[in-house]
Amino acid sequence: MPGEKDRRRSIGARRNPATEAAVLAAAREVLAEAGYAGFSVDEVARRAGAGKPTIYRWWPNRADLLAEVYFADRAARIPEPETGRLATDLAALARSYLGAWRGSPAGAALRGLLAEAQANEAALVVLWERFLPRWSEPVRGVLGEAARRGEVEPGDIEMLAELFSGFLWLRLLTGQTDDDRAAIDRVARLLASARGRKV
């Protein structure tokens, strides 16, 4: 009876792209419906109609999978604002991040990735090597532009990026991803006016 739903199987001695897509889609679904609390490899495998060994073959850590889900999400691709003023750029950037976290599984994925990194050494490595550099690109981009305009001391870029990232993460981790424009604008102005040179 060939009317039955086709089961995905091996396509030979190479990775099956359909399986890869199904796993990522399933992971995304689980995060969207149940958040990180409902995220488990078993559940993802069930939904994807995939075997657990298949998942572990390609994503050795849960953190690996979470990081890939994060960036696979279109909403998580943050546009780099260019208004010519640091305060407004930072505010727009913050609203983009928080909005993406609110409206897509990316927020749950990052919450999970950070949680994972607190108990799992390998997850911390993923966070450092795979996630952080790519994630913070827009932040460093905006600050770099501001430095070229002279709005920011080049030596301040790194710590400003850390302060900005810390603010966003704190909001995410404490469940405050709402669009709090007053707070965001104030933080953006604070950072744009800050100077770290020794006096």
Q: E-assigned strands of 64-198?
A: none
The reply on whether position 130 binds DNA by CB under 7 A is no
- Binding of DNA at residue 128 (CB under 7 A)? no
Stretch in the footprint of DNA (CB under 7 A) among 8-16, 89-97, 99-107, 166-174: 8-16
Is residue 21 at the binding interface for DNA, with CB under 7 A as the rule? no
- Which residues are near a copy of itself by CB under 8 A? 35-37, 111-112, 114-121, 124, 127-128, 132, 155-156, 158-160, 162-163, 165-170, 173-175, 183, 185-187, 189-191, 193-199
- Hey, what long-range contacts does 12-19 have (CB within 8 A, 24 or more apart)? 15/58, 19/48, 19/50, 19/54
**CA pseudo-torsion sign 38, 69, 74, 129:** positive
Cα separation, 61 vs 120, in Å, equals 9
Considering only 21, 33, 38, 84, the residue that binds DNA (CB under 7 A) is 38
Cα 11 from Cα 165, distance rounded (Å): 43
User: Which chain residues interact with DNA by CB under 7 A?
Assistant: 7-16, 19-20, 22, 38-43, 48-54, 56-58, 60-62, 120
